[in-house]
Chains A and B, each alone.
Chain A
Amino acid sequence: MSSRDLILSKIKAVPLEAKNLPTIPEFEFEGDLKARFIASILANKGEVITKAEFFSLLDSGVFEKVYSHIEDFSSFTNIKITEDAHQLNDLNLAIIRGQFGVAENGAIWLEDQDMGLRALPFITEHLVIVLDSENLVANMHQAYDRIGLQESGFGLFIAGPSKTADIEQSLVIGAHGAKSLRVVLLNL
């Protein structure tokens, strides 16, 4: 007997009482979605900036190698587009668009099309996600309602920069992935 069949037959042999799945109710959310989303991003050690602030940041020249995956900022792209994520190792800034954000925890939803290469939001030194403030949901239940059964091969919630507290519980930002997350919130 294959291990698959063995495992399944062992499970079948256990007499188990039927248990119904519960219905997830709609939980109410009090307060302002935008304010809560911004507070959540800050709590996750990200930043929220305006489009104007972002332009002046770009103009300041602090980012040497830049790649924008969205049209609006493509004029700032100054690296050769690559199919091999390893080539992005010295990328200083990636700019991508988030589909929507979750107010209760600051998580921003992304799919394959939003990243191009799946490694992009991780391997870049700094990450900017452009998000329309109209695209906010209250909590994770609404988030999965909105995602539905889409079929992207990879889906990702990003809620902040790469971080760790594995050394004596001291928080350090910039473990392996992006050292910063800035969210450019449009239509504030």
Chain B
Amino acid sequence: MSHPIQAAEFLQDQAKSKWHDETLWFVRDKRDKISKSVPEWENLRDLASQIKDNVLANLGKYLEEFEKNAKANNIHVHWAKDAEEHNRIVLGILQEKRCKAIVKSKSILTEECHLNPYLEKNGVEVVDTDLGERIVQFLNQAPSHIVLPAIHLKKKDISEIFHEKLHTEKGNEDPDYLTHAARIHLREKFLSAKVAITGVNFGVAETGEFVVCTNEGNADMGVHLADVHIACMGIEKIIPKRAHLGVFLRLLARSATGQSVTNYTSHFRSPSPGKEIHIVLVDNGRTAQLARPKFKNSLKCIRCGACMNTCPIYRRSGGFSYESTVPGPIGSILSPGIDLQKHSSLPFASTLCGSCTDVCPVKINIHEQLYEWRQEITKAQPDRAKSLAMKIANGVFAVPFAYNLSGNMMRGALKILPDSITYSGLNTWGKQRDLPELPKESFKDWYKKNRK
């Protein structure tokens, strides 16, 4: 289904969609406030962008350096060309350890690879331990936002599913109470898991270490209690030097949630005595994206979610409307590279206002890439450009007389047309919005009168 159809479904519940819009804008506002408290904020964005440029220009070299150093630190390094191989590698480790139940902290990559259903099909119980992810897992849903997985849900929804799954009091919607219930439930899981899976925020070539950021401490609860830690990392997550963490960590949490740093920033360099760390380096379309000069910059993304929080379309359409693992503006430039046919409506789910580009901590030109994808898609799917309205517009804009006449006609028509027609399904621009009040005359007429 295309984005506009899904978005219309999200907008059915007006109160909830309004809350979604306002809540994400509140997060965006927190990001603004805290970024302005750092005088060198714009320098940091430039530095981060330049470091990532260097990474993309030397990706192979840094990956080999990372592998060499990680191996020297007793970390097992695996390479996966695609999602299927990634899943097979993870399952292979679990089978070797005779492990039937794992805990997993937030990893967008494992969502992208659909690891959970794969493991479940092979008899492994997967417990997502980030609170928001556990909530959506109970509901058999995917996260709707990469940083705030359950932002599409209200506490009433969460209370209901917790009552069913965790036997909390019916109707008790208190976030403290519900979080405490999840704490007790997940503590059991942490204590019994032999293998823990995490994502990776940054891999450092120079040291062979990798860094994981959380506020809940769930990644660490999992891996330090388990015997085996499997970390799944997209190859673009590599950075050259440890000192570069200083730049990225100053940007990441401030951009994501408006906090100065996550409460836990864990650097994994080698396993504890008697334990194992495995890292799976995954391509899954990243090298193909690297080979597209117009779109390779999308690989600079550090997954902060700021572009989602600021996007007027994302806020009013919800994460599910994108039907891609990474939703929002950045998802709309990443996903067409993976499956152009499936995601062809996404680059059009944007006003091209450029707000995403303005907040991006690594200065990805998101709105320009959205525009570029539109060109690609229109070339690949010429039917898209042949709607009747576009054909008429094409004719009208080409002939000055027709343009003037149609302007006069519309100003007249919109005044006398009843709302039932103006806001009928025939007029896409009348959906979910009021049309602006119309001026009595065109700018051209006004100019003629006033500037003789």
- List B contacts of A141 (CB < 8 A): 243, 246-247
Q: Assess the A176–B57 pair: CB atoms within 8 A.
A: no
Name the contact of A7 in the complex, choosing from B57, B58, B154, B283 (C-beta under 8 A).
Answer: B283
Known contacts A8-B63, A89-B187, A151-B269; decide if A140 and B53 are in contact (CB<8 Å).
no
Does B355 count as interface, using CB distance less than 8 angstroms? Answer: no
Give, as a whole number of angstroms, the nearest-CB distance from B218 to chain A. 5
Quick one: closest A residue to B188, CB to CB? A89
Q: Assess the B290–A11 pair: CB atoms within 8 A.
A: yes
Of A57-65, A71-79, A92-100, A164-172, the stretch lying at the interface with chain B is A164-172
Does B354 count as interface, using CB distance less than 8 angstroms? Answer: no
Of A13-21, A48-56, A128-136, the stretch lying at the interface with chain B is A13-21
- List A contacts of B79 (CB < 8 A): 2-4, 7
Does B178 count as interface, using CB distance less than 8 angstroms? Answer: yes
Bound together, the chains give a CA A112 to CA B268 distance in angstroms of: 11
Bound together, the chains give a CA A177 to CA B73 distance in angstroms of: 27
Give, as a whole number of angstroms, the nearest-CB distance from A144 to chain B. 5
- List B contacts of A3 (CB < 8 A): 79-81, 85, 283
Quick one: closest A residue to B248, CB to CB? A140
Q: Assess the B216–A140 pair: CB atoms within 8 A.
A: no
Q: Assess the A143–B246 pair: CB atoms within 8 A.
A: yes
Q: Assess the A172–B63 pair: CB atoms within 8 A.
A: no
Q: Name the residue in B53, B149, B179 with the highest tally of chain A Cβ atoms < 10 Å from its Cβ.
A: B179
Name the contact of A156 in the complex, choosing from B266, B270, B288 (C-beta under 8 A).
Answer: B266
- List A contacts of B175 (CB < 8 A): 167-168, 170, 172
Name the contact of B50 in the complex, choosing from A6, A18, A21, A155 (C-beta under 8 A).
Answer: A21
B:34-85 near A, CB below 8 Å: 38-40, 43, 46-47, 50-51, 53-54, 56-60, 63-64, 67, 73, 79-81, 85
| Interface range on chain A (Cβ under 8 Å from partner) | 35 or more
Does A69 count as interface, using CB distance less than 8 angstroms? Answer: no
Known contacts A118-B220, A176-B186; decide if A154 and B191 are in contact (CB<8 Å).
no
- List A contacts of B46 (CB < 8 A): 22
Name the contact of A177 in the complex, choosing from B39, B207, B243, B264 (C-beta under 8 A).
Answer: B264
Q: Assess the A169–B51 pair: CB atoms within 8 A.
A: no
Does A187 count as interface, using CB distance less than 8 angstroms? Answer: no
- The secondary structure that dominates the A interface is loop
Give, as a whole number of angstroms, the nearest-CB distance from A160 to chain B. 4
Contact with A along B126-147 (1 / 0, CB 8 A): 0001111001000000000000
Q: Assess the A167–B243 pair: CB atoms within 8 A.
A: no
Does A38 count as interface, using CB distance less than 8 angstroms? Answer: no
Quick one: closest A residue to B190, CB to CB? A176
Q: Assess the B132–A166 pair: CB atoms within 8 A.
A: yes
Tell me how many residues of B have a C-beta within 8 Å of chain A: 93
Of B111-119, B254-262, B341-349, B363-371, the stretch lying at the interface with chain A is B254-262
Q: Assess the B263–A24 pair: CB atoms within 8 A.
A: no
Bound together, the chains give a CA A13 to CA B290 distance in angstroms of: 10
Q: Assess the A160–B263 pair: CB atoms within 8 A.
A: yes
Bound together, the chains give a CA A156 to CA B223 distance in angstroms of: 14
Known contacts A22-B47, A119-B224; decide if A154 and B242 are in contact (CB<8 Å).
no
Does B168 count as interface, using CB distance less than 8 angstroms? Answer: no
Q: Assess the A154–B243 pair: CB atoms within 8 A.
A: no
Bound together, the chains give a CA A121 to CA B2 distance in angstroms of: 47
Give, as a whole number of angstroms, the nearest-CB distance from A184 to chain B. 18
Bound together, the chains give a CA A44 to CA B120 distance in angstroms of: 37
- List B contacts of A20 (CB < 8 A): 50, 54
Bound together, the chains give a CA A20 to CA B132 distance in angstroms of: 39
Bound together, the chains give a CA A123 to CA B222 distance in angstroms of: 10
Known contacts A11-B290, A21-B51, A167-B155; decide if A157 and B23 are in contact (CB<8 Å).
no
Q: Assess the B259–A44 pair: CB atoms within 8 A.
A: yes
Bound together, the chains give a CA A25 to CA B262 distance in angstroms of: 24
Does A186 count as interface, using CB distance less than 8 angstroms? Answer: no
Q: Assess the A177–B287 pair: CB atoms within 8 A.
A: no
Name the contact of A167 in the complex, choosing from B43, B47, B179 (C-beta under 8 A).
Answer: B179
Bound together, the chains give a CA A69 to CA B163 distance in angstroms of: 40
Give, as a whole number of angstroms, the nearest-CB distance from B361 to chain A. 14
Q: Assess the A89–B81 pair: CB atoms within 8 A.
A: no
B:247-292 near A, CB below 8 Å: 247, 249-250, 257, 259-272, 281, 283, 287-288, 290-291
Name the contact of A12 in the complex, choosing from B50, B60, B206, B272 (C-beta under 8 A).
Answer: B60
Does B245 count as interface, using CB distance less than 8 angstroms? Answer: yes
Give, as a whole number of angstroms, the nearest-CB distance from B307 to chain A. 18
Name the contact of A174 in the complex, choosing from B148, B154, B180, B244 (C-beta under 8 A).
Answer: B180
Contact with B along A94-132 (1 / 0, CB 8 A): 000000001011110000100001110011000000000
- List A contacts of B209 (CB < 8 A): 155
Quick one: closest A residue to B24, CB to CB? A169
Q: Assess the A154–B272 pair: CB atoms within 8 A.
A: yes
Q: List 16 A-B contacts (CB under 8 A).
A: A8-B63, A10-B288, A19-B53, A21-B54, A106-B261, A107-B261, A123-B224, A140-B249, A153-B272, A154-B268, A163-B215, A166-B135, A166-B148, A169-B23, A176-B187, A178-B217
Q: A21-B50, A85-B225, A157-B265 are in contact. List 18 more A-B contacts (CB 8 A).
A: A3-B85, A7-B287, A13-B291, A21-B51, A107-B265, A122-B220, A122-B264, A139-B250, A147-B242, A156-B266, A164-B215, A166-B130, A166-B149, A175-B216, A175-B217, A176-B221, A177-B221, A177-B264
- Top 5 nearest A-B pairs by Cβ distance? A177-B217, A166-B132, A105-B260, A119-B224, A155-B267
Residues of B within 8 A of A (CB): 23, 26-27, 38-40, 43, 46-47, 50-51, 53-54, 56-60, 63-64, 67, 73, 79-81, 85, 129-132, 135, 148-151, 153-155, 158, 175-176, 178-180, 182-183, 186-187, 190-191, 206-207, 209, 215-218, 220-221, 224-225, 235, 240-247, 249-250, 257, 259-272, 281, 283, 287-288, 290-291
